[in-house]
């Protein structure tokens, strides 16, 4: 259900849309369905609703007033990640991330953060992108375009933790992206450990903060009877006979 100002039909949901993800811009909306198709409607003065033909997306982001961090170092390509998924491998000394040394975590379509202490709050940075990263707000194009004159260069803070020191003290954690704990990324390298560490710190169970051992992955080998016969003939009959035949041919030439 949607409601509010509908000056540019931004709340007129397309008929037949079954969305798995939504992204709201200033006066336009993007939606992603299960097939990877991107739907866009609302204000289109800058072409922000002109979805590129043939685009099949796995994630979406919209807006003209927030920044998205882009990692241009190329390290993420080792894991099959693009520049829109910043890869973090160095962390601050906060208890949440203290044990995550050299453990990579990924944060797709992440906003950047600015940290500042308040009158009753203390805030600590958890981690940031590397130097080869930029914060951009140019999300209207189907391709990534970095303007060094306008886009802020890294390191860029992606997460912070803090404490409220008021009459009812409490703790909080802020991360620039929520997609890093989604089904597509929670199993990525250290993402699961980082998430559990945040929960343990928020509940004041610092003794449980750690890097947990990885459970062995069960990879059964499924093979048909026809392929089993093929393996038998190749390994038990054909290859041994080939070796014997090669040996006899060599002996015959040298005798």
Please report the sign of the dihedral spanned by the C-alpha atoms of residue 122, residue 182, residue 136, residue 134. positive
CA–CA gap between residue 4 and residue 68 (Å, rounded):
26
pLDDT-derived band at 243, boundaries 50, 70, 90: very high
Q: What is the pLDDT of the chain when averaged over all its residues?
A: 78
Task: Give Cα separations from 207 to 30, 126, 140, 199 (angstroms).
Answer: 42, 18, 45, 12
pLDDT-derived band at 99, boundaries 50, 70, 90: confident
Judge whether 123 and 160 are in contact, CB under 8 Å.
yes
Task: Give Cα separations from 65 to 40, 138, 152 (angstroms).
Answer: 18, 9, 14
Token pair recorded at residue 231:
């393996």
What predicted TM-score, i.e. pTM, was given to this entire model? 0.53
pLDDT-derived band at 123, boundaries 50, 70, 90: very high
Taking Cα atoms as reference points, which of 25, 24, 19 lies closest to residue 38?
A: 19
pLDDT at 79: 63
> Is residue 237 scored above 70 in pLDDT?
yes
Judge whether 159 and 123 are in contact, CB under 8 Å.
no
Helix (H, G, I), strand (E, B) or coil at 171: strand
DSSP state of 206: G
> Is residue 55 scored above 90 in pLDDT?
no
């Amino acid at each position: 259900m949607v409601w509010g100002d509908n000056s540019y039909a931004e709340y007129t949901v397309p008929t037949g849309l079954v969305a798995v993800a939504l992204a709201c811009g200033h006066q336009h909306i993007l939606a992603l369905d299960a097939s990877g198709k991107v739907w866009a409607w609302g204000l289109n003065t800058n072409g922000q609703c002109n979805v590129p033909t043939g685009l099949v997306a796995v994630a979406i982001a919209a807006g003209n007033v927030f920044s998205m961090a882009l990692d241009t170092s190329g390290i993420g390509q080792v894991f099959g990640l693009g520049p829109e998924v910043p890869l973090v491998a160095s962390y601050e000394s906060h208890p949440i991330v203290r044990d995550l040394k050299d453990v990579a975590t990924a944060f797709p379509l992440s906003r950047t953060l600015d940290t500042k202490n308040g009158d009753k709050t203390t805030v600590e940075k958890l981690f940031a992108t590397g130097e080869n990263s930029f914060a951009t707000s140019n999300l209207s194009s189907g391709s990534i375009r970095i303007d060094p004159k306008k886009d802020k260069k890294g390191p860029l803070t992606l997460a912070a933790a803090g404490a409220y020191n008021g009459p009812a003290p409490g703790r909080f954690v802020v991360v620039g992206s929520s997609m890093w704990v989604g089904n597509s990324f929670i199993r990525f390298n250290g993402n699961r450990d980082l998430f559990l560490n945040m929960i343990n710190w928020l509940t004041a169970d610092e003794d449980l903060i750690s890097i947990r051992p990885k459970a062995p992955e069960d990879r059964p080998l499924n093979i048909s009877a026809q392929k089993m016969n093929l393996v038998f003939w190749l390994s038990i009959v054909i290859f041994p006979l080939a070796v014997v035949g090669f040996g006899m041919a060599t002996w015959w030439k040298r005798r």
